[in-house]
């Protein structure tokens, strides 16, 4: 099963992607985790990405598309995956479609975790305390990330809806219940 998880920052996307990946034996690939690791290790990618991440902006498409292209080409994704945090823009979604096609592959579903703005802001401020993520601690950076999500990422919802692979799941409530809802939306079971 080849899946993309979509949802605003603080929607629980990362937590749920991890749980579903484990349950369904899929590879979980989070571009946010990958970039944070690159920044921590001071790699060339990390050096380029740092300033965008600190400001709550997206890193340029070509930086991140190149990384996903390498993963597709390496065969790492051949046994099924959940992409978490990618694609984030319509050009990224188009690039993904093209590279998968080249590999005789495609996405099965795009899962949108649906959570209202007010809830998202609450969750991000508590995550800042728990996980110590710098981009969650600063209210103006959080607001910018939500703005960026609305302007640059939300249009992907129409893109996948147009491809008839979009599934919307209510992201409010108990973590276990949300995992069950997601599993049902993905497998029909
Ligand atoms: P996340 O953990 O998914 O919220 O990502 C944290 C930060 O990493 C984002 O605010 C962006 O700066 C950057 N990032 C992660 N994934 C992408 C992507 N697909 N395209 C551009 N920037 C990204």
Query: Is 145 assigned a catalytic role?
Result: yes
Distance 189 CA to ligand 1 centre (A): 31
Q: Is 19 a catalytic residue?
A: no
Q: In terms of DSSP bridges, do strands 2-6 and 166-170 run parallel, antiparallel, or are they unpaired?
A: unpaired
Number of domains in the chain: 1
Q: Please state whether the predicted TM-score (pTM) of the whole model is above 0.85.
A: yes
Annotated active-site residue 123? The verdict is no
**Residues with Cβ < 8 Å from 143, sequence gap 6 or more?**
56
Q: What is the pLDDT of residue 115?
A: 94
What is the CB < 6 Å shell around ligand 1?
Answer: 9, 31-32, 35, 52-53, 56-59, 64, 85-86, 88, 92, 135, 145
Range of the domain at 50: 2-187
CATH code, domain carrying 151: 3.40.50.300
pLDDT tens across 46-76, in order? 999 999 999 999 999 999 999 999 999 999 9
Structure tokens at 110: 């795009």
């Amino acid at each position: 099963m080849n899946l993309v998880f979509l949802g605003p920052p603080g929607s629980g996307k990362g937590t749920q992607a991890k749980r579903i990946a484990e349950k369904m034996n899929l590879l979980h690939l989070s571009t946010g985790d990958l970039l944070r690791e690159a920044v921590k290790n001071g790699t060339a990618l990390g050096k380029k990405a740092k300033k965008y991440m600190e400001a709550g902006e997206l890193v340029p498409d070509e930086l991140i598309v190149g990384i996903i292209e390498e993963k597709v080409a390496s065969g790492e994704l051949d046994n099924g995956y959940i992409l978490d945090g990618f694609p984030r823009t319509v050009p990224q979604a188009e690039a993904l479609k093209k590279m998968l096609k080249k590999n005789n592959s495609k996405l099965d579903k795009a899962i949108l975790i649906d959570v209202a703005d007010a809830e998202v802001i609450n969750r991000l401020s508590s995550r800042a305390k728990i996980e110590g993520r710098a981009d969650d601690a600063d209210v103006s950076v959080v607001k910018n990330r939500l703005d960026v999500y609305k302007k640059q990422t939300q249009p992907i919802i129409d893109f996948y809806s147009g491809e008839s692979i979009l599934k919307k799941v209510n992201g409010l409530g108990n973590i276990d219940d949300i995992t069950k809802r997601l599993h049902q939306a993905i497998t029909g079971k």
